[in-house]
Amino acid sequence: MDKNRILARAKDYIQKESDPKFKAEVEALLAESNIKELEDRFYQDLEFGTGGLRGIIGGGYNRMNSLVVRRATQGLCNYINETVKNKSLAACIAYDSRHYSDIFAMDAALIFAANGIKAYLFTSLRPTPELSFAIRLLKADTGIVVTASHNPPNYNGYKAYWSDGAQIIEPHDTGVIDKVNSVTAIKSMSREEALSKGLLVMIDKEVDEAYISMVKAKLFRPELIKAMAKDVKVVYTPLHGTGAMHFERVMKELGLNVSTVPEQRKPDGNFPTVSYPNPEEAAALKMALDLGAKLKADVVMATDPDADRLGIAVPDGKGGFALISGNQLGALHADYMLLSLKELGRMPKRPAIIRSIVTSELQDRIAEHYGASHYECLTGFKWIADVMRNFEKDGTDFVYATEESYGYLVEEEVRDKDGISAAAMTAEMTLYWRSKGKSLLERLDELFSLHGYHEERGLSKYFEGPRGMDTMRGIMNSYREKQPGSFGGIAVASVKDYKTGEAWDSHNDGKKAKLDFPRSDVLQWRLKDGTQVTVRPSGTEPKIKYYVLANTGLEKGSLAAAKEKSKNKVDAILADIRKSLA
């Protein structure tokens, strides 16, 4: 975009932005003639993608600010009003601890109100899964949560939901995007007017109580928890986010002894004790692990800022703690929940679990072991929710869903990942295996011995700035133009291209099969030994992500040998990928 166009867009933004801070930022950049920074803020509009918005907080059309949030909400209102007829309309709004989250949430609520849509707004910050729960509980037509999940402190975001409590997908996603992109006028009203007309309703305890009751009702053995709780120590960190209020209450009511990291308990959008508030990152858990070691905890848990993700660590038997990956905890959950249903005589007629296409296939083996079906879907819990929607139509019984990025769902009442209910289930699972004389690590090794050693590792590379998306598109295009013949010295056996919806064997006569998945910019290779390699641009961050899923059989029953063989194999595959990105 040329300089004059950038300057014109900056001046247009200043005229329309109501927040003085964001307006002043752009005015200062214009006064300084800082074209490089202005280009980054105005070369494009912050994209309202299929899940909503996410970006750096600041003034500009390519930033998260009041004008961008208000415009997005107006577009959502326009779509809802045109699509949902013959009923009174309502929306639920929640927000997390990030900077401007409360302001953006109120901005959105008042726009819903001005468009005749009753806005149920939480009085203070709440976890994302409770927003999904509230939509279903209050029978709302839509909802939003203001959060950037586990992104760095300078980010914020906005996720849009439909009436079933799931993030919007086709056809609503493209319909909303079209309306957002065509907004010419934004309606709003004052807080006082919205309250007086009953178009703004503040909510808290009535949803909290129902949500907490639901979380506890999903557990299998509350009597076991009561019997053993006094002997178990849980260390927890909400990483300055929303999780503490519900996590601590649930655990207390179950009788468990929880010690929350004091320096990280208070919500704080600066996330002062971590550089990256993501429970997937070992560094983010350092303070919790230090406290766990001091208190000799039985399990350390962490939720991300909006409490939809959960990370855990357990004693390694050597005086330290072992981090349990998202794939591993997902496998342990699936195993424990299916085992419990079987032991308690509660196995439904058509049990099924769901995972994303980049999540461990160990879960498929576990499901088969218990006679359950397993389904896969594209990455993102909105696609898991879509499979759940289909279950409701065909009578399949939902048991559990997960994706490798520390997202888990143990209930049907929420249609997004839920770190709070997953934590409660993890606590019960830990006690159950302790009652059998086993740790979670020992049970995990039993699963590996039964189903083969499954190792999953990933690699990500960031591409910031105006040309970042072009670089990622170039990488994906280069793979499609010249398919790799091998990774780590292992030949490619077959390919799936989710963008074209086609799959084929590497050495056939050109015949291609159709994939029964929505279109997505994802490439997946199956190697000769069964290893799976996947690449996709992230939908929420400027990075490209690779996933390697390897299953190594146990030769002569040696798990240690399988782990070493798998490590070497995955190391070689990742080295090949890094070389291609250099």
Closest Cα partner for 26 from 38, 43, 40?
Answer: 38
> Would residue 149 show up in a list of annotated catalytic residues for this protein?
yes
CA distance 206 to 184: 37
DSSP 309: B
Q: Taking the CA atoms of 385, 400, 456 and 451 in sequence, report the sign of the dihedral they define.
A: negative
What are the DSSP E strand ranges found in 381-452? 397-403, 407-409
What string of DSSP letters covers 250-299?
HHHHHT-EEEE-HHHHS--TT-TT-SS--TTSGGGGHHHHHHHHHHT-SE
Mark out the alpha helices in 311-354 (DSSP H runs).
326-343
Can you read off the two tokens belonging to residue 42? 């105005």
Q: What interhelical angle do 362-369 and 326-343 show, nearest 10?
A: 10
CA distance 327 to 331: 6
Q: Name 282's Cβ contacts closer than 8 Å, sequence gap at least 6.
A: 323
CB 373 within 8 A of CB 350: yes
Using alpha carbons only, what angle is made at residue 382 by residues 393 and 105, rounded to the nearest 5 degrees? Answer: 125
Q: Which of 149, 163, 360, 405 is catalytic?
A: 149
- CA of 427: how far to CAs of 352, 369, 443, in Å? 23, 24, 15
DSSP 532: E
CA distance 318 to 524: 38
CB 287 within 8 A of CB 264: yes
Amino acid at 7: L
> What count of other Cβ atoms lies within 10 Å of the Cβ of residue 112?
31
Query: Would you give the distance in Å from CA 56 to the centre of its chain?
Result: 18
Site of tokens 């709003």: 188
| 224 CB-contact burial (10 Å; exposed 0-12 / middle 13-18 / buried 19+) | middle
Q: Is 132 helix (H, G, I), strand (E, B) or coil?
A: helix
Using alpha carbons only, what angle is made at residue 554 by residues 552 and 560, rounded to the nearest 5 degrees? Answer: 90
Tell me which residues are annotated as active site: 149
